[in-house]
Amino acid sequence: MRSPFGRSPSARRPSIGTVLLVMTVAALVLPLSGLWILRLYESALIRQTESELIAQAGVVAAFYRDAWRRAGGQAEALGPPVDPAWTRPPGFDPPWTPRFASLDLAEDPILPPAPDPVPAMASDPSAAMAGATLGPILREAQRITLAGMRVTDRRGVVVASTGEEMGLSLERQDEVRRALAGEAASVLRERTSHDRVSYRSGSDSPAVPDRSRSVRVFTAQPVLDDGRVVGVVVVSRTPRSIADTLYGKRWHLAGLAVLLLVSVGVLARLGTVAIARPLRAVTGLAKRTADGERGVMVPLPRPVVREVAELSDALTRMASTLEERADYIRDFAAHVSHEFKTPLTTIRGTVELLRDHMDSMPAEDRDRFLANMDAEAGRLSRLVRRLLELARADVMTVTDAAVTDAVPVAARLAERHGADASLPASLPVAIGQDSLESVLANLIENARHHAGADARVTVTLRAEGGRAILRVADDGPGISPANADRVFVPFFTTARDRSGTGLGLTIARGLVEAHGGSIALLPSDRGALFEVALRRVLPRR
């Protein structure tokens, strides 16, 4: 079917190669997009930054405690020690007090920017002296670590900083307040405008503004001396963004992208060779078959995919079946035309003869011609009835529920036609009663027509494994070897002079095969022997 514009509707549909390419690209894109959506890698970068800040804070705290002691600071004068449970994680005993990264972008809240420091009282003299010692070291370290570092005394007043908070109090910051109480803390905060500077690793270019990262990691480490808080180290830094990380690996990622694209192309090509090309070949052969060419539908020589091979074989069998059916219909039509032509010619000639000589024809000749017309009409009637039976056999739909006890049917038909019978007590078979009667009646009538009225016809029935074997034999002249292969061919008969139609055995074979059985002419020492094998139905237990 073509559209009004001259193109087939299927031409607008994508090809299998296109679908395979899209599916392969989607299979590659979905995992990568999932990483961006879940922000898994960004959380890993934040934990990595937190771990680095914890290590830096530990080192600064150790330096500050040593400088504070040398400046004359005394822990005993600061009151009782803090709760020791805050100074170490479970399972670790002094002197080990490790800290582990715990921030998670998916679970931890992002707090507002740190509140501005407020003026405060003068710091402790020992803390101020220690801070003055650490200040140059912190600023020098910042050039490498890029982290903002502040050290406060035990009241939260900044005594050393890489910024401009000297002498101001950070006690308003939640993490600083917790550290002053002896609890180490890490938080995520929104970045402020003066934090938005990015340094690319390995780049000689000046710092460039970076708006891709919106959070900053803050960690506050209490400085403990003999269990007492003598100060707090606050370290903060913006973690590296995914964009920065990917930029540093841009050439590696570009190579990987090229490799993936080449892989996608190779996979799509393999899919085309294995699926699309064979399907196009099968489609071409099917179109040629549909256009009337015969014998062109053959199995593909070496299909790669099993489904394509099965499709090719199925279409080949279908084309072969259709060609055989077309041949059968053509031959059938020719035979029917021939079988109808002879009696119709006889009837027409007789009618013309009677019309011309009806008045002058003797009564006995007129009766003879009328008897011939009646015989030919009867022959046509039998032929039509047989054709209807053959049509029903060809299109019969069989159900598994069709079960018949073959013994009473065989006994009744043998008695009706005067045949001998050797039957068991009962033998259910998978065939309907009407079909079984038609098969057996055709076999017995065929024996009577060919073996003669005085011939002995025998019907035997027995069980053989899962099959029921029905045999019809006669002691007539038998069937010659030349005709043995043609007895099931439609319209073949050697008894045409006795009104034979040549369809009885064809009808019997159609009915038997429709029910999953078989029928055959077996060699016999005398007469003809036909055997029918039907599926036996075993009783349910």
Using pLDDT thresholds of 50, 70 and 90, give the confidence band for residue 35.
Answer: low
The answer to whether residue 302 sits within a structural domain is no
In this predicted model, what pLDDT tens digit does every residue of 404-441 receive, in sequence order?
A: 898 998 898 888 888 888 888 888 998 888 888 888 88
* Mean pLDDT score across all residues of the chain: 78
Residues 239 and 107 in one domain: yes
Cα–Cα distance for residue pair 187/175, rounded to 1 Å: 7
Cα–Cα distance for residue pair 469/357, rounded to 1 Å: 58
Position 152 scores a pLDDT of 93
The answer to whether residue 256 sits within a structural domain is no
Q: Which residue has the higher pLDDT, 480 or 17?
A: 480
Cα–Cα distance for residue pair 71/74, rounded to 1 Å: 9
Backbone angles phi, psi at 362, to 5 degrees: -60, 155
Tokens coding 119? 């003026």
Residues 448 and 469 in one domain: yes
Residues 475 and 526 in one domain: yes
Using pLDDT thresholds of 50, 70 and 90, give the confidence band for residue 207.
Answer: very low
Q: Would the pLDDT of 197 be above 70?
A: no
Cα–Cα distance for residue pair 468/517, rounded to 1 Å: 9
Q: Would the pLDDT of 396 be above 80?
A: no
Owning domain of residue 346? 309-394
In this predicted model, what pLDDT tens digit does every residue of 257-266 receive, in sequence order?
A: 788 778 877 8
Residues 230 and 356 in one domain: no
Cα–Cα distance for residue pair 182/230, rounded to 1 Å: 10
The answer to whether residue 162 sits within a structural domain is yes
The answer to whether residue 42 sits within a structural domain is yes
Q: Would the pLDDT of 215 be above 90?
A: no
The answer to whether residue 326 sits within a structural domain is yes
Residues 223 and 315 in one domain: no
Residues 372 and 422 in one domain: no
Burial class from Cβ neighbours inside 10 Å (0-12, 13-18, 19+) for residue 185 reads: buried
Cis peptide preceding 95, ω within 30 of 0: yes
Position 311 scores a pLDDT of 82
In this predicted model, what pLDDT tens digit does every residue of 63-77 receive, in sequence order?
A: 999 999 998 877 666
Mean pLDDT of 498-508: 67
Mean pLDDT of 522-530: 85
Residues 380 and 408 in one domain: no
Three-state SS for 460-482 is EEEEECCEEEEEEEECCCCCCHH
Q: Would the pLDDT of 198 be above 50?
A: no
CB-based contact 372:349 (threshold 8 Å): no
Position 390 scores a pLDDT of 65
Which domain CATH number covers 228?
Answer: 3.30.450.20
Which domain CATH number covers 330?
Answer: 1.10.287.130
Which domain CATH number covers 433?
Answer: 3.30.565.10
- Kindly report the length of the chain: 541
192-206, 303-317, 374-388, 448-462: which range is least confident on average? Answer: 192-206
In this predicted model, what pLDDT tens digit does every residue of 1-14 receive, in sequence order?
A: 444 444 444 456 66
Q: Would the pLDDT of 372 be above 50?
A: yes
Beta strands 158-161 and 148-152, pairing class = antiparallel
Total domains in the fold of the chain? 3
Q: How far does CA 485 lie from the centroid of its chain?
A: 49
The answer to whether residue 322 sits within a structural domain is yes
3-class SS of residue 98: coil
Which of the listed ranges 77-86, 457-466, 471-480 does the model predict with the highest average pLDDT?
A: 457-466
Residues 82 and 173 in one domain: yes
The answer to whether residue 413 sits within a structural domain is yes
Q: Which residue has the higher pLDDT, 519 or 81?
A: 519
Residues 367 and 410 in one domain: no
Buried b / exposed e over 49-78, threshold 16 CB at 10 Å, is: bbbbbbebbbebbebbbebbeebebebeeb
Residues 87 and 116 in one domain: yes
- Closest C-alpha to 187, from 92, 87, 50: 50
Cα–Cα distance for residue pair 201/205, rounded to 1 Å: 10
179-183, 196-200, 235-239, 513-517: which range is least confident on average? Answer: 196-200
What's the one-letter identity of residue 86? W
Beta-sheet strand order (sheet of 467-474) = 420-422, 457-464, 467-474, 529-535, 518-522
57-71, 174-188, 206-220, 352-366: which range is least confident on average? Answer: 206-220
Using pLDDT thresholds of 50, 70 and 90, give the confidence band for residue 203.
Answer: very low
Residues 521 and 480 in one domain: yes
The answer to whether residue 279 sits within a structural domain is no
In this predicted model, what pLDDT tens digit does every residue of 278-307 receive, in sequence order?
A: 888 888 888 888 888 888 888 888 777 777
The verdict on pTM exceeding 0.75 is no
* Final residue before a domain boundary, out of 394, 415, 444: 394
Residues 451 and 521 in one domain: yes
Using pLDDT thresholds of 50, 70 and 90, give the confidence band for residue 199.
Answer: very low
Mean pLDDT of 228-255: 82
Cα–Cα distance for residue pair 188/40, rounded to 1 Å: 16
Q: Would the pLDDT of 150 be above 90?
A: yes
Mean pLDDT of 455-470: 89
- Closest C-alpha to 65, from 154, 1, 197: 154
* Final residue before a domain boundary, out of 232, 248, 264: 248
Position 1 scores a pLDDT of 42
Using pLDDT thresholds of 50, 70 and 90, give the confidence band for residue 91.
Answer: low
* Final residue before a domain boundary, out of 339, 373, 394: 394
Separation in Å, CA 262 to CA 2, 21, 113, 181, 228: 38, 12, 47, 59, 63
